[in-house]
Amino acid sequence: MNRRSFMSWGTAGVAALCSAVGVSLGAVGRFLTPSVFYEPPQTFKIGKPADFPFGSPTFLVDEKIFVFRHREKGFAVASAVCTHLGCTVKYFQSDQDFHCPCHGSIYSANGTVLHGPAPRPLNWFEITLAPDGQLRVDKNKIVPPTYRLMV
Amino acid sequence: MNLIREIWRSIVRRDPLSTDKGKSELVFLNVWLHIHPAKVKKENIKFRYSFYLGFITFFLFLILLTTGIALMFYYRPYPSVAYQDMKDLQFAVFMGPFLRNMHRWAAQAMVLCVFLHMCRVFYTGSYKKPRQFNWVIGVMLLLLTLGLSFTGYLLPWDQLAYWAITVGTNIGSYAPLVGGRLRELLLGGHTVGEAALIRFYVLHVAILPSLVILLTIVHFWRVRKDGGLSRPLWKLKPRKTEALVTIGAPAEVAPLHVAAASPDKTYGLMEVVTGKPIFETVTPEEEEDTVFSYPYAFVREAVALMATVTTVMTVSLFFNAPLEEMANPAITPNPAKAPWYFLGLQELVSHSALLGGVVIPALMVIALLAIPYMDRNPSRRPRDRKWALWVFTFFVVANVALIIIGTFFRGPGWAWVPPWVHVVARPE
Ligand code: HEM
Ligand code: FES
């Protein structure tokens, strides 16, 4: 084998090896990415409007949301997940603000950051009335804090 | 009687240990011991040089392997039963609490010792040529040790575990571009749930320990090939510019002229091949006091092993590993703290997630990895490397200070609460 064909075969060999390694790594990455997530659905019903009192918000444990019901302005749903690192925030009716226990972020009643490391305001989710008269929350749809559902 | 003797001789084939040949054969005919040289430098086995921290780290790892395998007999990595299995270990399994305690305390001690070992290696300048890459392997071992702690932390599936991992993995998602995807890969989902538990379990019991074992083998091999431990600072010789080395030369030929043999290097005869015999002459100063590994080095290592095991066992008799309530995604304990060795990180993160959680730690790791290549100063003498010592000491002090702040000075809502002040949670 002369020098030239050695070089070209060599290059081809290295290229083949690299692509084989690349493809294998890609396959491993894909293998590790779940095709199906067995996680709670992002859209769910939370019950009839009458189930929710006026005044302090109702905290739904499994969904990690606060459901606000205001006499004139209607329904709004805030996420209870701190935008900093995902701890569950608490609502303090006395001060009308949210406190995160992990690193001390404080959010105002409309979700804007008042204090602490949280980079973004709390999320507000779309809430609508399903045909069967139940309230439906869609966590995929982020809405402005002024969003209200009037019932 | 003869048969017994014959059997014994078939197992132990070395000469009696009263002879020098027997002492050497004990080392190099034995697969476990032959990572040692037959003879070691007398100064290097002194406790006050290495504090045996590398050995202690390794012994702690052995304790973790054995107790970890024992725990695996009773632990199922599934959310609804994992916590129940921990409770079983705590209250129903014979010696369960003891094994769990040993595993927990040895893990914490390992994090501590691996850090102290790194400090010893730095302060003695032992990462310098030819040991640069062994330092890099060491940094990888440090990261793997932290990874083992982190993945193990989730397994009890209690409140502490759940929230430490929620916060910990969210830090990762601040990494630009790949962060969110990395977190999804690690958790197998978007929240800490059953997919995350099994992934952490596989990492904790299979992948990370295998990597530690693999790298430890390389680490030890390199210590050996680099001529054993670096020479203690109190034995450093004035730096030579060149040295004469005679390699396989018959008497009538002039010695080969070889430049700059490192004063820290010991030369070993690694192999005998046919042809011209290879031998080497070493300068008288190289031929310093050495002693047989048996018994001098082995006894000290055995003492370190026994001290490590006894300490872990004693601590495990008196202090129980914590187990809080079962994980509850709805309620975050206040304050939710990571394991102590991550509290420095948590403190940084409480100021800025991107800077404190991603940028600064990444720079720290890169700096650690680069130390042997950035520090071009060949001298190992403290007085020649003031600058390096100050920078590293700053790094150590900053880490320790942040951990102390995170551990003792942070209360509910991560507010500044000194340990002597007692706070009561606000009403909702
Ligand atoms: C799982 C973790 C580790 C284990 C089990 C381990 C074990 C050891 C052992 C047994 C020794 C020999 C003597 C001694 O110092 O006790 C050693 C030496 C050494 N280690 Fe480690 N080590 C670990 C991590 C590290 C780390 C984190 C670094 C640095 C970043 C490091 C760098 C070195 C270097 C450069 C030497 C040679 C020191 C000298 O020649 O004086 N190792 N290690
Ligand atoms: S997770 Fe809420 S402040 Fe850090």
CB A20 within 8 A of CB B172: no
Mutate to test the interface with A, among B331, B352, B409 (most CBs of A within 10 A): B331
Averaged pLDDT for residues B114-142: 95
Asked whether residue A151 is assigned to any structural domain, the reply reads: no
Residue A85 Cβ inside 6 Å of ligand 2? The answer reads yes
Please tell me the residue having the least CA distance from ligand 2 atom 3. Answer: A103
pTM above 0.80, yes or no: yes
B265 and B163 in a common domain = no
What are the per-10-residue average pLDDT scores of chain A (151 residues)?
87 95 93 84 89 88 89 88 90 89 88 90 92 91 88 77
CB B404 within 8 A of CB B259: no
Tell me the CA distances in angstroms from B45 to B73, B301, B398, one per residue in order.
39, 9, 31
Whether B163 and chain A come into contact, CB under 8 Å, resolves to yes
DSSP secondary structure letter of residue A54? S
Peptide bond into A34 cis (omega under 30): no
B248 and B385 in a common domain = no
Count the domains in chain B. Answer: 2
A21 and A47 in a common domain = no
Asked whether residue A109 is assigned to any structural domain, the reply reads: yes
Q: According to the model, what pLDDT value does residue A56 have?
A: 82
Dihedral sign (CA B232, B237, B238, B244): negative
Angle, CA B67 vertex, CA B65 and CA B68 arms, to 5°: 60
Query: Which ligand 1 atom is the nearest neighbour of the CA of B145?
Result: 1
Place of tokens 């409309």: A110
Averaged pLDDT for residues B255-266: 52
CB B323 within 8 A of CB B62: no
Confidence bin at B283 (pLDDT 50/70/90) = very low
**Between B259 and B279, the higher pLDDT residue:** B259
Which residue of chain A comes nearest to B338, CA vs CA? A102
Place of tokens 């390389």: B218
A104 and A48 in a common domain = yes
Show the domain range for A13. 1-38
3-state secondary structure B27-61: HHCCCCHHHCCCEEEHHHHCHHHHCCHHHHHHHHH
A100 and A31 in a common domain = no
Averaged pLDDT for residues B285-307: 86
For residue range B13-33, list pLDDT tens digits in order. 899 999 988 999 999 899 989
Whether B411 and chain A come into contact, CB under 8 Å, resolves to no
Tokens (6 digits) for A140: 């995929």
Of B326, B332, B325, B343, the C-alpha closest to B166 is B332
Query: Which ligand 2 atom is the nearest neighbour of the CA of A100?
Result: 2
Whether A115 and chain B come into contact, CB under 8 Å, resolves to no
Asked whether residue A148 is assigned to any structural domain, the reply reads: no
B74 and B124 in a common domain = yes
Q: Pick from B167, B185, B352: which is nearest to A86 by CB? A: B167
Show the domain range for B398. 50-231+298-414
Determine whether the interchain pair B185/A29 forms a contact, defined as Cβ–Cβ distance below 8 Å.
yes
A68 and A83 in a common domain = yes
Rounded to whole angstroms, the Cα distance separating B315 from B31 reads: 33
Residue B246 has pLDDT above 70, yes or no: no
A62 and A22 in a common domain = no
Query: Which ligand 1 atom is the nearest neighbour of the CA of B140?
Result: 27
Query: Which ligand 2 atom is the nearest neighbour of the CA of A82?
Result: 2
CATH number at residue A62: 2.102.10.10
Q: According to the model, what pLDDT value does residue B67 have?
A: 97
Q: According to the model, what pLDDT value does residue A11 have?
A: 94
For residue range B184-208, list pLDDT tens digits in order. 999 998 889 999 999 999 999 999 9
Confidence bin at B217 (pLDDT 50/70/90) = very high
A94 and A20 in a common domain = no
Asked whether residue A150 is assigned to any structural domain, the reply reads: no
Q: Please name the residues in contact with B52: beta carbons below 8 A apart, sequence gap of 6 or more.
A: B300, B301, B304
* Distance in Å, CA B316 to ligand 1 centroid: 26
B218 and B258 in a common domain = no
Asked whether residue A127 is assigned to any structural domain, the reply reads: yes
B311 and B266 in a common domain = no
B303 and B287 in a common domain = no
B164 and B269 in a common domain = no
Which residue of chain A comes nearest to B183, CA vs CA? A33
Rounded to whole angstroms, the Cα distance separating A48 from B301 reads: 71
> What are the DSSP calls for B248-273, one per residue?
S--TTSPPPEEE---TT---------
CB A141 within 8 A of CB A43: no
Answer yes or no: is the ipTM higher than 0.85. no
Taking a contact as any Cβ pair under 8 Å apart, which residues of chain B between 226 and 285 contact chain A? none
- Enumerate the residues of chain A whose CB falls inside 8 A of the CB of residue B188: 32, 34
Whether B176 and chain A come into contact, CB under 8 Å, resolves to no
Asked whether residue B422 is assigned to any structural domain, the reply reads: no
3-state DSSP assignment of residue B295:
helix
Asked whether residue A2 is assigned to any structural domain, the reply reads: yes
Please tell me the residue having the least CA distance from ligand 2 atom 4. Answer: A103
A50 and A15 in a common domain = no
Angstroms from A47 CA to nearest CA on chain B: 19
Determine whether the interchain pair B330/A104 forms a contact, defined as Cβ–Cβ distance below 8 Å.
no
B134 and B187 in a common domain = yes
A34 and A60 in a common domain = no
Which residues are bridge partners to A129 per DSSP? Answer: A135
Asked whether residue A47 is assigned to any structural domain, the reply reads: yes
Determine whether the interchain pair A64/B329 forms a contact, defined as Cβ–Cβ distance below 8 Å.
yes
Of B302, B264, B271, the C-alpha closest to B286 is B264
CATH number at residue B81: 1.20.810.10
Whether B188 and chain A come into contact, CB under 8 Å, resolves to yes
b/e string for A115-129 if b means 16 or more Cβ within 10 A?
ebbbeebbbbbbbee
Whether A81 and chain B come into contact, CB under 8 Å, resolves to no
Averaged pLDDT for residues B205-212: 98
One-letter amino acid of A48: K
Q: According to the model, what pLDDT value does residue B337 have?
A: 80
3-state DSSP assignment of residue B137:
helix
User: Directed axis angle between helix B132-154 and helix B360-374, to 10°?
Assistant: 160
